[in-house]
Amino acid sequence: HDFPPWETVYGYFAAWQKEGVFDQLNGLLRRLVREAEGRDGEPTACVLDAQSVKTSANVPATSQGIDAGKKIAGRKRHIGVDTLGLLLAVWVTAASVSDNVGGIHLMSHIAATHPRVTKAWADTGYRTKAIDHGARLGIDVEVVQREPGVKGFKVIPRRWIVERTFGWLMHHRRLARDYETHPHRSEAIIHVAMIDLMSRRLTRESTPNWRDT
């Protein structure tokens, strides 16, 4: 009873997503965080990765797929982050869309919005087509592989940065599973989560997340 009707809340959320408000806020806060860390406001390098997640029952089957490698039916979050793990680009697709296709889409977006980026690190899911596409955009894509013979958990240089970002996102209960009917709304929720994270970092506030309750 303390909140407005859900239709009103969702109406504003949908309007702000369509107008790019969340994307703009993410960009403004990222610049402030980078400058607070002694970095230039605009990044020159990025890290790419993808995460497959299960979906809720209300998500249309037409926007889902199966990640054969990870045996997950649902959607896939393709993200590009800077070297601090802050979001530069996000694309939500069916889980069946390959990392390679996602990487090509992300790099096109990053090249258009962050022209100073000339370096990208990625895992072995990003193959020749993504590397060649990056080269055409002026981005040197380096595939970082696990050391041969290493078993169990091992921190992989550069790739741990984007893995940590996925960990940050999963601290938001709304992102533990994909609940959104439309993929672009899922992208907006990811932007909201990063806005929350960066706002708390700038104000030095520590708020318990849903895993602490």
- Name, in order, each residue with C-beta under 8 angstroms of 58's C-beta and a sequence gap of 6 or more: 179, 181
SS (H, E, C) 67-134: ECCCCEEEEEEEEEECCCCCEEEEEEEECCCCHHHHHHHHHHHHHHHCCCCCEEEECCCCCHHHHHHH
- Sign (positive or negative) of CA dihedral 164, 96, 110, 156: positive
pLDDT of 211 > 70? The answer is no
Give CATH for domain 6-146+154-203: 3.30.420.10
- Over range 1-10, report the average pLDDT: 90
pLDDT at 150: 65
Map residue 64 onto helix, strand or coil: coil
What pLDDT sits at residue 210? 62
How many angstroms separate the CA atoms of 31 and 98, rounded? 30
Q: Which helix (H) or strand (E) holds 47?
A: strand 45-54
Q: Strand pairing of 119-122 and 45-54?
A: parallel
Average pLDDT for 31-50: 96
- Is residue 135 classed as helix, strand or coil in its secondary structure? helix
pLDDT of 136 > 90? The answer is yes
**Domain range summary for the chain, segments of one domain joined by +:** 6-146+154-203
pLDDT tens readout for residues 137-163? 999 999 988 776 666 666 778 899 999
Kindly report the pTM of this predicted structure.
0.91
What pLDDT does residue 156 have?
Answer: 79
* Token pair belonging to 164: 């940590």
* pLDDT of the residue at 9: 93
Q: Which two tokens stand for residue 79?
A: 């993200």
What number is the average pLDDT over the span 33-37? 96
**What residues are paired with 143 via a beta bridge?**
122
pLDDT of residue 153: 62
Alpha carbon of 35 to those of 28, 48, 194: distances in Å?
A: 11, 22, 17
Tens digit of pLDDT for each residue in 66-102? 998 889 999 999 999 999 999 999 999 999 999 999 9
Give the pLDDT of residue 145.
80
